Amino acid sequence: MSTYLFAGGGTAGHVNPLLAVADRLTERDPDARVLVLGTAEGLEARLVPMRGYELLTIPRLPFPRKLNGAALRFPGRFLAAVRRTEQLIREHDVEVVLGVGGYAAAPAYVAAKRTGTPIVVHEQNAKPGLANRLAAFLTKHVGLTFSNTRLRHGRVVGMPLRREIETLDRRVSRAEGLAEFGLDPDRPVLLVTGGSSGARSINRTVNRAAATIVGAGWQVLHVVGGKSDIGPSDLDGYHVLPYCDRMDLAYAASDFVVSRSGAGMVCELTAVGLPSVLVPYPVGNGEQRYNAKDVVDAGGAVLVADGEFDEQWVTFHLLGILQDRARIADMAVRAGSVGHRDGADRMTELVRDAAAAPSTTSTTEER
């Protein structure tokens, strides 16, 4: 029996591709054992056990961005996390460590290097994070989601997608999607979502402009996120949900999307051929703008800055798109032209290649 340690998490953008590869790996090799290294605070604490995998936890250790008390304590805490991960690698006789980014990935990479365990990296974002940039110097097995990503030894594999997204036929599932959310089959559907955590500015703008959008003949399926204070609406055609556990059916029911441009969302939209307006998250290292580049360049999405996405933009720009069904159909084709549905298969091959590669350092027995 082969044992793999998959490290990463924090958000759905990290957890979902990790689980997609885990599912595909165990489908191909029923004797394979996948352990997941994460934190008790991240989304993995809920999603990993729900999927049937064992979650091993280490403390949440964000890289310090400024010199303060937390920065001074970081080296000791990081080393403790590395040692704990080394112990787990030895205890479970781990053959390969796969990192997808997130707080658990960096300690896992260092522990794998110190124990001679092969490392595999998957970078979801077009602009790589620090942990994966460092890990790319420790392995030749590096999978990329986007063609414009610059990372040592990287090869484009796409985003590992959940099976229900990977196999979705929107036309076949549309009736089921409309019924799931109580939508009118005679009106087109605008899906609005900010990702697993929601998006305050998108939520606020769409909530205020909902009557205008509905008045233009559309209905709105608005997934606001659990932290939003926007509740159910009495406006006919405006459907507000705090969460959506069936995004496959939401995609099937929808004709157009307004969303953040997180890597997972961009890849799911292009995989299923949904046109969109993408509003990058304005904080961080700007990776969401880079994530949108391929589909925007292809004409499958329109990019708008967070500060510009207001009620006026909805009225003068979004409504113009929504009223042009020929343009929407063309954008759908263009979005689908840059999508990948085989990311889970290709990442699984990368993991298996790493497992089969000759060890260049210590063996399992030496560990």
CATH code where residue 137 lies = 3.40.50.2000
* 55 DSSP β-pair partners: 36
Q: What length is written for the chain?
A: 367
Q: Nearest 10 degrees: CA dihedral of 191, 171, 290, 264?
A: 80
Q: For the chain, which residues score pLDDT lower than 70?
A: 195-198, 359-367
178 shares a domain with 105: no
Question: What residues are paired with 57 via a beta bridge?
Answer: 38
Are 128 and 169 members of one domain? Answer: no
On whether residue 366 sits in a domain, the answer given is no
* 8 known ligand binder: no
In a domain, 120, yes or no: yes
3-class secondary structure, 164:
helix
12 assigned binding-site residue = yes
The reply to whether 362 falls in a domain is no
Contacts of 339 (CB under 8 A, 6+ apart): 267, 269, 270, 271, 272, 273
- Do 156 and 183 belong to one domain? no
What is the pTM (predicted TM-score) of this model? Answer: 0.88
pLDDT reported for residue 188:
99
Same domain, 37 and 103: yes
Residue ranges making up the domain that contains 204: 164-337
CA distance linking residue 294 with residue 301, whole number of Å: 9
Q: What's the confidence (pLDDT) of residue 195?
A: 65
> Do 213 and 333 sit in the same domain of this protein?
yes
d(CA 96, CA 6): 8
Q: What is the pLDDT of residue 364?
A: 40
pLDDT confidence of residue 36: 97
Between CA 16 and CA 22 the distance in angstroms is 10
Looking at the structure, do residues 66 and 172 belong to the same domain, yes or no? no
Spatial CB neighbours of 251, under 8 Å, sequence gap ≥ 6? 165, 168, 170, 177, 191, 268, 269, 272, 274
Q: State the chain's maximal CA–CA distance in angstroms.
A: 69
Instruction: Give the pLDDT of residue 227.
Output: 77
User: Binding site annotation covers 162?
Assistant: yes
Alpha-carbon gap, residue 141 to 166, rounded angstroms: 23
User: Are both 20 and 135 inside the same structural domain?
Assistant: yes
Exposed e or buried b per residue across 55-92, where buried means at least 16 C-beta atoms within 10 angstroms of its C-beta: bbbbebbeeeeeeeeeeeeeeeebeebbebbbebbeee
Is there a contact between 42 and 8 (Cβ–Cβ < 8 Å)?
no
- Residues 219 and 188: beta-carbon distance below 8 Å: yes
Res 256: pLDDT: 99
Instruction: Give yes or no: residues 333 and 350 share one domain.
Output: no
Q: Which two tokens stand for residue 212?
A: 């205008």
